[in-house]
Amino acid sequence: MKAFIFDLDGVLVFTDQFHYEAWKELADQMGIYFDKEINNRLRGVSRAESLEIILERYGGPQLSRQKKAELMEQKNRSYRKLLAGMTPLDVSAEVRETLAGLREKGYKLALGSSSKNARFILERVALTGAFDAISDGNNITHSKPDPEVFVKAGEYLGVCPQECYVVEDARAGIDAAKAAGMKAVGIGEASGYEKADVKIGHFSELLELT
The contact set with Mg ion (CB under 5 A) reads: 7, 9-10, 44, 169-170
Cβ neighbours, 10 Å, residue 151: 21
Q: How many residues bind ligand B16 (CB under 6 A)?
A: 20
Stretch that binds ligand B16, among 45-53, 58-66, 90-98, 195-203 (CB under 6 A): 45-53
Angle between helices 16-30 and 47-55 (to 10 degrees): 40
* Binding partner selected for residue 116 from ligand B16, Mg ion, none, CB under the kind-specific 5 to 8 Å limit: ligand B16
**Distance between CA atoms of 118 and 37, rounded to whole angstroms?**
24
User: H helices within the chain, ranges in order?
Assistant: 16-30, 36-40, 47-55, 65-83, 93-104, 118-124, 148-157, 171-179
| Phi, psi dihedral angles at 131 (to 5 degrees) | -115, 145
Q: Pick from 5, 8, 125, 174: which binds ligand B16 (CB under 6 A)?
A: 8
> Is residue 9 a contact residue for ligand B16 (CB under 6 A)?
yes
| Nearest distance from C-beta of residue 61 to ligand B16, angstroms | 25
The question of whether 175 is a catalytic residue gets the answer no
Cβ atoms of 57 and 39 closer than 8 Å? no
With binding defined as CB under 6 A, does residue 187 bind ligand B16?
Answer: no
- Binding to ligand B16 by CB under 6 A, coded x per residue (else -) over 144-163, reads --------------------
Q: Nearest distance from residue 197's CB to ligand B16, in Å?
A: 19
Contact yes or no for 153/4 (Cβ under 8 A)? no
Q: Does 42 bind ligand B16 (CB under 6 A)?
A: yes
Under the binding rule (CB under 6 A), the answer on residue 98 touching ligand B16 is no
Task: Kindly give, in sequence order, each residue whose CB lies less than 8 Å from that of residue 188, ignoring residues fewer than 6 positions away.
Answer: 10, 11, 169
Residues that bind ligand B16 (CB under 6 A): 7-10, 19, 42-47, 50, 76, 113-117, 137, 170
